[in-house]
Structure 1
Amino acid sequence: MKRVAFFLPVTSQPRYHKRIKAFQKAGYDNLIFSFERNYFKGDGDISSFISLGKIEHEKYLKRMFKYLKVIKIIKDFKRQIKECEIIYIFGLDLVLFIVILSKLFGFKQKIIYEVADIRSIMIGNSFKSRMMRFLERKAISKVNLTTVTSPYFIEGYYQKEQRIHSNNFFVLENKLYNLKNTRYCREMWNDNSPLVIGLFGVIRCKYSWNIICELAERYPNKINIYVRGYVLGIESFQSDVERLDNIVYEGEYTSPDDLAYIYSKIDICWVGNITNENLNTKLALPNRLYESLYYRVPMVAHKGSGVSKRIEELDAGWIVDFKDVEGTIHSIISISKEDYQYKKKNTVVSDNLCVDSHDHLELIQKVQSNG
């Protein structure tokens, strides 16, 4: 049977599960290697994988020492890896490592490198940033295909910053895949009831959280906040939830199983975050864009973000400046029934824009044809 070796930074990321399931559907068996860490449970953990060890979030220096132990693990599974037709790798540190080990252990398979974020370390003129960009260029020159989750990454980063002009890129957006439940669309909001704003996923944007709390505190009878996901780096989160009765946090969720339920609870989805001042905010397209469109929920996003471009094209939400707290609050609290209904109707789009019907198949066909 055809086989793919996957190398993952974490087991619970839904995006990784999509790739694994798509290759399985196409007749491939899999051999999965993954680090372990505390992270958003997403689509749940993969039940069967080979552990590369435990790592901490963003502790890159400590992580490098882990790779010394990984060499022995890869050596122990050298024969099984050589039997695979494809090596699929997520993350720059992993692809650099596997490219080097491929030379050491004689791996000849096609290698796919997937990029879903442009890390802040990749941008700037510091020695470290220049070195990381150089290493990535070297890695991309050695792999057969680079998959990106946003088309803006190619022009805005790889062509502009990395000066890479190649046909060996494939855009595979974060569309919904392998849906298991019936779509449920919430009824139209009217201004006689509180506006329910949903904040989902990895909760780490302090700009967003500050505005969310201000809205909840100032307008307890007009605004309700519904939060689901994994909280990362917001120290005041628990105390804010405890002091504000109109903020409800119901923990993490599994995607796609829980999506119909959580989107049925909200009128608006908060989709655009600023996690730092890097290029990623301007280029990335988050899962919540596709989920919101599928469940017919208008969105709020930060101006200049990658997702704001899509929302503006569809006129399916409100674009605000998260750094202008007062302006953002005014925009949200001023939403009228008529304006809301107009934006909601614009979320009714072709499923091809939010659900993967053939994208993964096209990826697999491209890999198979790419010598």
Structure 2
Amino acid sequence: MPRVLYLVHDLSDPAVRRRVLMLAAGGAAVTLAGFRRGENHLADIEGITPFELGATADARFVQRLVAVAGAAVKLPRLLAGIPRPDVIVARNLEMLALAGGASTHFGDVPVAYECLDVHRLLLGDGVTGKALRAAERHFSRKTDLLVTSSPAFVEHYFKPLSGLRTPVHLLENRVLELDGHETAIPAHSRVPGTPWRIGWFGAIRCRKSFDLLAAFTRRMEGRFEVVLRGRPVRSEFDGFDALVAREPFLRFEGPYRNPEDLAAIYAEVDFTWAIDFFEEGRNSLWLLPNRLYEGCRHGALPIVLDGTETARLATQHGVGLTLADARLDALIGRFADFDEAAYQALHANLVRRGTRPWVLDRADCAAFVQRLAALRRPVEQGAMPQPIPSLVANKVDCHDR
């Protein structure tokens, strides 16, 4: 059983829980360590007690830089209490900065760099962007594998800009299904005369999407409603709860467990909002969000934006509704004459595709763990844990995810 040390930027991130479940399902023994960024007990993992490296906050780059430097000082004492891992997985650049020291401590353990978003600071042409890309190249010198979720990240960032020369493993954000009982995409049922419901689930971080959906539902006078669930990135909103409260056709239903609650929450909506303007023109064009796979798996048609990687994948599979652009008029025009017959025709296309494009099963989990295990290097005779070099002088990026 390969041992994996998973270093994460946010222990309260549901995506971290999902990855740990995947690693365990694939046959790995997982040790979890990272920073706590807010409370989210739904992200707790039964049987796993994480090692906390400190507390961080959204949109506070300097604070997280200091926290990473402080964690580097504490890391030798922390790592002294855990078995030598076969591989270290570092989620995001700030954890990659710690992974090199952890690898040295254990005697040259291979490192996989998991990067599922490309932060705007990495893309700048100024001093900050260049410095952060240099830091990424520095910390990835001994990285054995890059794990990312979209081919567009490789095409538009990692190959032309990052300077990384690391083998790539594409691991899409598909729905984790471990029970072994494949079920079909559920049939769509809706009470005639009730509003159409758009589900916006996951990380609620895009203020432009919020404003667009609020204006849309008001213009449609209740014919459409929006249900929000997940984790609002409150630093991106000026009073998130008050904003929701004043919108008559939007409501926030709180967090949920992923993957356990997905079937239930997507059964309550007709569409999935799979558009993101959070880092418009760059990351938002390239990402393949969790909600795209979740909605398609559970029968909610994705709404996507033309020209994005999300739209490319949806078009490839012949599913969803594509907006020509991000204008309110484009959204209104797309749904002005929308009816049940149009929905059922689109839903039938989704059902015909089946679940396979949208899910990860135990075999997929095992294949990923085997890919990580293949990185293992033999332990040198008499190898002892080594001191961890200081990271205080190094600049690191801290992803707001």
- Aligned residue in 2 for 1:187: 188
Letter of the 2:308 counterpart: S
Could you say what secondary structure the match of 2:17 adopts? helix
Q: Counterparts of 2:90 and 2:50 in 1: how far apart (Å)?
A: 14
What displacement does 1:26 show?
4.0
1:41 touches 1:252 (CA, 8 Å); kept in 2?
A: no
Structure 2 counterpart of 1:323, from 322, 326, 335: 326
Is 1:36 equivalent to 2:39 in the alignment? no
Letter of the 1:355 counterpart: V
- Aligned residue in 1 for 2:216: 215
- Aligned residue in 2 for 1:91: 92
Could you say what secondary structure the match of 2:162 adopts? coil
1:304-356 per-position Cα deviation (integer Å, ceiling 9, x unaligned): 22211111222311222563122222213332333222221122223221111
Name the structure, 1 or 2, with higher relative contact order (CA <8 Å, separation 6+): 2
What displacement does 1:191 show?
6.9
- Aligned residue in 2 for 1:119: 119
5+ long unaligned stretches in structure 1: none
1:41 touches 1:254 (CA, 8 Å); kept in 2?
A: no
C-alpha change, 1:228 and 1:27, in structure 2 (3 Å) is closer
2:207 touches 2:237 (CA, 8 Å); kept in 1?
A: yes
What displacement does 1:205 show?
1.2
Could you say what secondary structure the match of 2:343 adopts? helix
C-alpha change, 1:353 and 1:163, in structure 2 (3 Å) is same
Identity of aligned residues (%): 22
Could you say what secondary structure the match of 2:124 adopts? coil
1:195-227 per-position Cα deviation (integer Å, ceiling 9, x unaligned): 111111111212211121112212234112222
- Aligned residue in 1 for 2:156: 156
Is 1:347 equivalent to 2:350 in the alignment? yes
1:104-136 per-position Cα deviation (integer Å, ceiling 9, x unaligned): x35311111101000001112111111211222
What displacement does 1:162 show?
2.7
2:103 touches 2:111 (CA, 8 Å); kept in 1?
A: no
2:286 touches 2:308 (CA, 8 Å); kept in 1?
A: yes
1:9-32 per-position Cα deviation (integer Å, ceiling 9, x unaligned): 112333322332333334432222
What displacement does 1:234 show?
2.2
What displacement does 1:288 show?
0.7
- Aligned residue in 1 for 2:56: 55
Deviates more, 1:230-239 or 1:61-70: 230-239
Is 1:306 equivalent to 2:309 in the alignment? yes
Could you say what secondary structure the match of 1:138 adopts? helix
C-alpha change, 1:111 and 1:339, in structure 2 (3 Å) is same
- Aligned residue in 1 for 2:385: none
Is 1:4 equivalent to 2:15 in the alignment? no
Could you say what secondary structure the match of 2:111 adopts? strand
2:34 touches 2:52 (CA, 8 Å); kept in 1?
A: yes
2:5 touches 2:30 (CA, 8 Å); kept in 1?
A: yes
Letter of the 1:129 counterpart: G
Deviates more, 1:307-316 or 1:229-238: 229-238
1:273 touches 1:301 (CA, 8 Å); kept in 2?
A: no
Is 1:146 equivalent to 2:150 in the alignment? no
Q: Counterparts of 2:17 and 2:65 in 1: how far apart (Å)?
A: 25
1:5 touches 1:81 (CA, 8 Å); kept in 2?
A: no
5+ long unaligned stretches in structure 2: 378-401
C-alpha change, 1:333 and 1:50, in structure 2 (3 Å) is same
Is 1:73 equivalent to 2:74 in the alignment? yes
Could you say what secondary structure the match of 2:214 adopts? helix
Deviates more, 1:136-145 or 1:206-215: 136-145
What displacement does 1:247 show?
2.1
Could you say what secondary structure the match of 1:144 adopts? strand
- Aligned residue in 1 for 2:258: 255
1:152-190 per-position Cα deviation (integer Å, ceiling 9, x unaligned): 221221112235455x11011111114569777352458
Structure 2 counterpart of 1:365, from 364, 367, 370: 370
1:1-53 per-position Cα deviation (integer Å, ceiling 9, x unaligned): 64221111112333322332333334432222110112666644675111101
2:285 touches 2:308 (CA, 8 Å); kept in 1?
A: yes
Q: Counterparts of 2:306 and 2:220 in 1: how far apart (Å)?
A: 24
Letter of the 1:363 counterpart: F
Letter of the 1:174 counterpart: N
Count of aligned positions: 369
Deviates more, 1:203-212 or 1:181-190: 181-190
Q: Counterparts of 1:240 and 1:62 in 2: how far apart (Å)?
A: 28
Letter of the 1:173 counterpart: E
Structure 2 counterpart of 1:356, from 351, 354, 360: 360
- Aligned residue in 1 for 2:274: 271
